[in-house]
Structure 1
Amino acid sequence: MRWRKLLGGMAFAMVLQVATAGPSEPRVVLVQPSGAVAPANLLRLSVVFDAPVEGAVLPRIALSHADGRPLQEPFLQQELWSPDGKILTLLLHPGRVKTGLVAREQLGPILSAGDDVVLTFDGHLIKQWHVGPVDATGPVASAWKLSHLRSGSRQPLVVTLDGPIDGRDVDYLAVVGAADRLVEGKAQLQEGETTWTFTPVAAWQPGEYRLVVRDTLEDPSGNRLGGHFETPIGAPQSRATVTAIAFKIGPDSSSSGRAGLERSD
């Protein structure tokens, strides 16, 4: 009888322990830029978790040199979360990224070309970058290359970009067909956000298509498709535009056209 009571007590204790255990800590599944190299004028990065995170996360994140020396005050003290609470976007302090500002003059730039830096969460390494040169050019749609497509297939359209774009801008590109009808499908960014792929829901049909790109698409340094982050204060702002790259799918294959600009209202 005593051993039955003992086992019963142990089982109750195990149930109590499971019932009172807290939820497992969300894991980091992706950091963007996801490539091995980040520009010296990196403006933003995103941390993707597998579940929503409770409480402030910024105090738990650190950016340091590869040898462990911390970078002084690299982030703007603001957490930008996706609606589902799983993606945190952090801004490196713009006043230290952009040249000619007081913060940069006093504290210096955050990153320097040739450095190796690491990003940690709760002291655990989640990403490492080699710092490349400053990227002041931004995306150039006319340099993008589109893959060939077969009519009747659902093979993905692969767009090789001229450089990485912001990881949160995957839906800033879309494919439209006849009568500007949106082609339904799934878009992804791959290879360090240098490649955009689009897999249609239905098979490709022969005809004329356009890859349409929002003018607010940016690279990780804040350079837009139609403007640069380092634009001087007081410079005239460019009008909103939509970039469209035309391509045609024939009975067997496609041929891509050149990029064109369309004015939007």
Structure 2
Amino acid sequence: MANWRANAALLVVTLAAGTASGASVTPSGPEVAENLLRIELHLDRPMAGALDMSHVTLLDSAGTPIPDAFLDLPLLDRSGRNVTLLLHPGRIKTGVGPNVALGPALRSGQSVTLRIDDPQLGRPFAQHWQVTPPLRERIDPQQWTVQTVRRSGRQTLRVIAPAALDGDAVEAIAVQGPDGRRVAGVAMLTAGEREWQFTPKQNWRPGAHLLRIHPRLEDPQGNRLCSAFEQAEQSAKRCEDDGKLAFIIE
């Protein structure tokens, strides 16, 4: 399973310069949790330079900028197309100084708007979300629902999670067949990153299958398979064990 492990990348955002019409965002659903840690933006070609965080704003439901919502640390990947926006973790973790002094940047029951007007985008970009209660539990694949398929066909397998996964979860999940080998096919995330879909290249074979989940899989709140973001010493805890979820094709 080493190959599929290597395919799981760090959580990133994709931005392309010059055309806001080609922009998308993850979380892409209508809601985000109060303890949202990462926002992922997606455009279709590389930016010319680093994203200027002075042009990145979170607005509350009244249209007022939320102060100190982000770290001034946009993470641009080597391609120039991927940027990660990090909300201030100190405002997320309960009892930490900024959380006590300022409270969370997002508040359950309100709505927020992400606005980016960096000139590199060509025109302003905006995304709206409703804020829901915080999600403070580790990711548990046993809570996922696998809508099984029938053998002798290439029906799309659907795996539904109770909450959104990070945008790169598409490459962090694999299917292991009855022979113990990875099933080749094409995966995608839908339904606001709550649903992982997989279409095999060849017909499904009958027998016991496993979903194999890379241990570095996270959700937009920074929760992992082995620990929640707010768990004590979470940053020092190493997630080494794959997540597994068994299903049978008859």
Same fold (TM over 0.5): yes
1:225 aligned residue: 225
What is residue 56 of structure 1 aligned with on the other side?
Answer: 50
Distance 1:239 1:90, change over 3 A: closer
Q: Deviations over 1:111-167 (max 9, x none)?
A: 111111101121734210111111112322111111121212111110011211111
Residue 101 of structure 2 corresponds to 106
SS at match of 2:242: strand
The C-alpha deviation readout for 1:37-66, integer Å capped at 9, x for no partner, is 111110011000111111221332211113
Tell me the CA shift for residue 235 of structure 1: 10
TM-score, structure 2 as length reference: 0.83
Q: Distance in 2 between matches of 1:59 and 1:181?
A: 48
Rounded to whole Å, the distance in 1 between the matches of 2:78 and 2:237 is: 30
Task: Give the Cα–Cα distance (whole angstroms) in 2 for the partners of residues 82 and 161 of structure 1.
Answer: 28
SS at match of 2:208: strand
Once the two structures are TM-superposed, the CA of residue 82 in structure 1 deviates from its matched residue by 4.2
Larger radius of gyration: 1
Aligned alpha-carbon RMSD (Å): 2.3
Alignment match, 1:86: 81
Tell whether 2:7 aligns with 1:25.
no
2:203 corresponds in structure 1 to 203
Taking the aligned partners of 2:202 and 2:23, their CA distance within structure 1 comes to 30
Which structure dedicates a bigger proportion of its chain to strand? 1
Counterpart amino acid of 1:26?
T
What are the ranges of 5 or more consecutive residues in structure 2 without an aligned counterpart?
1-16, 118-122
| Candidates 39, 42, 48, aligned match of 2:36 | 42
* Cα distance in structure 1, aligned partners of 2:149 and 2:54: 47
Mapped contact 2:147–2:158 kept (Cα < 8 A): yes
Matching residue of 1:6: none
User: Contact conserved, 2:111 with 2:130, CA < 8 A, in 1?
Assistant: yes
Q: 1:235 to 1:44 in 2, by over 3 A?
A: closer
Distance 2:242 2:176 in 1: 13
Contact 1:140–1:162 (8 Å) recurs in 2: no
Residue 18 of structure 2 aligns to which amino acid in structure 1?
E
| Range with greater deviation from structure 2 (27-36 or 44-53) | 27-36
What is the match of residue 126 of structure 2? 126
Q: What's the % identity of the aligned pairs?
A: 36
Aligned equivalent of 1:16? none
Give the distance between the partners of 1:145 and 1:102, measured in 2 at CA.
Answer: 38
Query: 1:163 and 1:183 mapped to 2: Cα distance?
Result: 25
Alignment equivalent of 1:65, drawn from 60, 66, 80: 60
* CA distance in structure 1 between the partners assigned to 2:67 and 2:79 by the alignment: 31
Q: Structure 2 vs 1, CA of residues 51 and 238 (structure 1 numbering), >3 Å: closer, same or farther?
A: closer
What amino acid is the match of 2:135?
D
Which residue identity lines up with residue 181 of structure 1 in the other structure? R
2:233 and 2:28 mapped to 1: Cα distance?
A: 31
**Residues 200 and 82 (structure 1 numbering): CA distance in 2 closer, same or farther, change over 3 Å?**
farther
Paired amino acid for 2:49: G
Task: Give the total of aligned pairs.
Answer: 228
Q: What TM-score, normalized to structure 1?
A: 0.79
Distance 2:72 2:219 in 1: 21
For CA contacts below 8 A with separation 6 or more, give which structure has more relative contact order: 2
In structure 2, C-alpha distance between the alignment counterparts of 1:59 and 1:199, rounded to whole Å: 42
* Offset, 1:86: 2.2
**Is the Cα–Cα contact under 8 Å of residues 148 and 248 in structure 2 kept in the other structure?**
no
